Structure 1
Amino acid sequence: MEESIIFLGLEVGSWADWVGIVVTFLTIFLTIRYYNNDNKKQFKIVLYPIFTKEIEKGITTFHASPVSLEFYAVNFSKAPDLVYFFTIRTKRNFFQKNIRKVPKINVDWDFSFGNRVPDYQPVEPRNKTKIEHFEIHWFYDAALSAYYKTKNKKFMKKVFLEIVYVNVDGKEFSKPIVFTVENLLAYSNEKKR
């Protein structure tokens, strides 16, 4: 005869019933967790500076600071996916959005007229998208614009931009780029000369 568990004066089943319930619950939980991790979409964005610039006739000059930035997305999922380069914009958390009032700025890098059609790229696992190349002044101009349009910038030390890719399901993958206010103001002064 099985021994029953009595809780608050009520018979709530035997030990075998409760062990069976716990084991069933753990099995369901671990199965769901496994399949969620197995089907997870994950992209990492690789960003690197370019310090050289070709002037003319194969002559290359080297600079002390980056002239441009190149980046691409790598698929770290277990399944192929479609992804496209969406935008470069200001990155804002709750504090920056509501207290500091950093504006939402998208870099206007597409000069075509009309609606922009997403250029989805099929990316197999452990493969990358095509390399995007942008002059560094586009990033500095966007970060400087965000700094000047910020309402409460008294103690602001950094401006954050982010590179954003979007997959076919609409999920965004981003990588932040940090600019110090000191470097932005030096860039602004150099630009005025």
Structure 2
Amino acid sequence: MVCIIYFVYNPELYGNLADWVGIIATVLTIFLTLRHYSNDNRIDFRIMCYSKNVSEKENGTTSIKGERELVVCGVNFSKSPQLFRFEGFEKKESVFDLIGRMYSGEKKFVLPLDFEIIRHEVVDYELVNQNEKSKDIFLSENYVNRYLKINNIDIHEGFFVVYMHISGKRFKNFIKAM
């Protein structure tokens, strides 16, 4: 029995137990270090979108108008401050659109917004700190509906709200209907 074990495992050829423990510890250390630092640099940005009634204050009373507006903002869940900007809306692609775009070589584009109609300046990148919300962007419901209609986006099919990171990575949130 001893003779068989000696030929299967030769410590001079394969190393002793201390060598194996050292090899495993080194590999595990490298793996855990890479995993830790890759999680630190991950960009985690989530888009919030909701609609609300437009209200205005006058003489200490708040009155609600018949208009509604779409409010868009984002929250940075990354471990460091990041730069983001609101890009606009994007059409939901069907399978046929996707196949056609693949064969034609077209690039997907975000539909540009008419920023003069929007209440806030949203063209520049905004620094959003860790676990903080970006500034709210208010879009009137009439403007959004008109904009989607002009760009042949069916509001009942849905569309994407798109934010852009300074690195070029795009973050999208799907909106079904308003």
TM-score, length of structure 1 as denominator length = 0.63
Distance 1:5 1:48, change over 3 A: farther
Structure 1 residue 131 corresponds to structure 2 residue 132: no
Q: Deviations over 1:84-104 (max 9, x none)?
A: 1111111337x2633699x96
Residue identity matched to 2:48: V
Q: Deviations over 1:6-31 (max 9, x none)?
A: 5xxxx962353444333322221111
CA contact (8 A) 1:107 1:142 kept: no
Q: Deviations over 1:46-92 (max 9, x none)?
A: 222112455x99773365xx811112112111111211111111133
Q: Name the structure 2 match of 1:69.
A: 70
CA contact (8 A) 2:91 2:153 kept: no
TM-score, length of structure 2 as denominator length = 0.67
Q: Which runs of 4+ in 1 moved over 6 A?
A: 56-59
Q: Name the structure 1 match of 2:160.
A: 162
Q: Give, in whole Å, the separation in 1 of the partners of 2:174 and 2:143.
A: 15
Identity rate, percent: 29
Distance 1:97 1:24, change over 3 A: farther
Please report the RMSD computed on the Cα atoms of aligned residues, expressed in angstroms. 3.8
Q: Give, in whole Å, the separation in 1 of the partners of 2:26 and 2:65.
A: 64
1:60 to 63, 85, 89: 63
Which blocks of at least 5 consecutive residues in structure 1 are unaligned? 149-157, 184-193
Q: How does 1:1-193 map to 2 (within 5 A)?
A: 13-14=14-15, 16=17, 17-54=19-56, 60-61=63-64, 67-92=68-93, 95=95, 97-98=97-98, 106=111, 108-111=113-116, 118-144=123-149, 145-146=151-152, 159-179=157-177
Q: Give, in whole Å, the separation in 2 of the partners of 1:83 and 1:105.
A: 15
Higher relative contact order (CA closer than 8 Å, sequence separation 6+)? 2
CA contact (8 A) 2:162 2:171 kept: yes
When Rg is computed on C-alpha atoms for both structures, the one with the higher figure is 2
CA contact (8 A) 1:143 1:160 kept: no
Which blocks of at least 5 consecutive residues in structure 2 are unaligned? 1-5, 102-107
Number of aligned residue pairs:
159
SS at match of 1:24: helix
SS at match of 1:79: coil
Q: Give, in whole Å, the separation in 1 of the partners of 2:170 and 2:152.
A: 21
Q: Give, in whole Å, the separation in 2 of the partners of 1:50 and 1:163.
A: 17
Q: Give, in whole Å, the separation in 2 of the partners of 1:108 and 1:123.
A: 22
SS at match of 1:159: coil
CA contact (8 A) 1:81 1:122 kept: yes
